[in-house]
Amino acid sequence: MEVELGFKNITRYETSLTEFVEHVSQTSAVDVSAGGSYMGFGASLEVNFEDFKGSSSFQNKFGSYQTTLTTGTPSLPEPIGLSVEPMYKILSSKYWQNTSLLTQHHACMTSDLALLTAVKTNMARAIGDYAAYKLASLPSDPDLKIPVTWPRGTYGLYMARTGCPHSSFPWHQGWLYQDVEDIGATNVFSKSLHLYGQFTTSDNIETHYCIKGTAQATDFDLDWPKGDYCIAKYGACPKGFMQGWLYWNDEDAYNGNKHGGYLPDGVYDENTRIEYCCRNDSLPTIPISLPTESPFYLLRHSRTCQRVQNMNTVEEFVYWDEQYVLISYDIKSGGYHPFDDGNSYNHKLHFCYYTPMPSNDGSDAIIG
């Protein structure tokens, strides 16, 4: 046994498991790994605490202050450390160098000293087997793990043909019918479009939405991860996003625009203005963690579709043929908005469609 004497102050802070995982994600992301299903959710995040202890962020103060424990003083040191070795270590040969002196004083017999190695081996085995005999279990630290849920905030997603994503809360749903150019309309969209609604080359366009109206739906909700993507705005943009908008000049003659249910923030009358929340604070090629139970859509913001852990990604597009005018004086966009490579008259947006990977494939992939 070895005892260290001195003085020590220990300051204790307290936080929730969710806040701790989020803290490590933001300060030492390499020490957080994406995992499979947990607590009934399709994906999880786990902190590798041994790796995190070796990071520069480990010493950061975090959480709410609780108390400070003090032991010893410079003038009156107290035990602050203890090192204990197993009993069989005392039978190591380095502790039994002067064997002749031991036998001379009859402390040990020569035959006893010859058996030191065997006795040491047997003692180590006995100590190890005793725990099994008593059916003792090894102590273990709790899992520093939380399920992946839909992030904090209120916002909207374009609805896929499979419906709104699986969640622990009810999505509010809504729809928007836009009357595009009546004469010779040439809407264009991906052949394999998975958006729910009405999409025809020579008729009007109808899109559907899934609206999250509860900012904090579970105790495990985190902020949206850094990346390069957009969502529809509903209330204040979630933390880390910047807002913007797009304006559609819909058909002027006998305008048939209509809508129902819950929609993203905007203006919905004879023309359409939809507001968005976008961010570009990380590369889209760095995968982010979002729920993986069912398909969903994000909007492309700049370079390419954002990768998502354990989800396949297909990039799709929709081109709206809006009201024909010789010269457009409309301001078609403002702020931070989805990537739009249409023209000064018509919008062309790119939708990122995510589908769960097979359960035996834990890598992320992007298609298209």
Q: End-to-end CA distance of the chain: give it in Å, rounded.
A: 64
Residue-level pLDDT at 367: 42
| d(C-alpha 67, C-alpha 87), whole Å | 37
E strand or H helix at 259: strand 258-261
CB burial of 331-360 (b: ≥16 within 10 Å; e: otherwise) equals: ebbeebbbbbebeebbbebbbbbbbbbeee
Residue-level pLDDT at 262: 98
| d(C-alpha 89, C-alpha 331), whole Å | 81
Q: How far is CA 314 from the centre of its chain?
A: 20
| d(C-alpha 366, C-alpha 368), whole Å | 7
Structure tokens at 290: 């979002």
Nearest to 318 by CA among 211, 208, 165, 155: 208
Eight-state DSSP code of residue 111:
H
Asked if 205 contacts 196 with a C-beta cutoff of 8 angstroms, the reply is no
Q: What is the mean pLDDT of each run of 10 residues along the chain (368 residues)?
A: 88 92 90 91 92 86 88 91 84 77 78 79 88 86 92 98 96 95 83 93 91 96 97 98 94 90 97 97 96 98 95 96 70 92 88 88 42
| d(C-alpha 15, C-alpha 63), whole Å | 5
The burial class, CB within 10 Å (0-12 / 13-18 / 19+), for 270 is: middle
Provide the 10 A C-beta neighbour count for residue 62.
13
Q: Alpha helices, DSSP H only, in 115-207?
A: 116-133
Residue-level pLDDT at 324: 67
| d(C-alpha 183, C-alpha 92), whole Å | 96
The burial class, CB within 10 Å (0-12 / 13-18 / 19+), for 184 is: exposed
C-alpha distances out from residue 233 to 98, 156, 358, Å: 82, 6, 31
| d(C-alpha 53, C-alpha 32), whole Å | 12
Please list, in sequence order, all residues whose beta carbon lies within 8 angstroms of the beta carbon of residue 155, skipping any fewer than 6 positions away: 211, 212, 231, 232, 233, 234, 235, 237, 238, 277
Residue-level pLDDT at 368: 34
Question: Model's pTM, two decimal places?
Answer: 0.80
Query: How open is the CA angle 343-320-302, to the nearest 5 degrees?
Result: 55
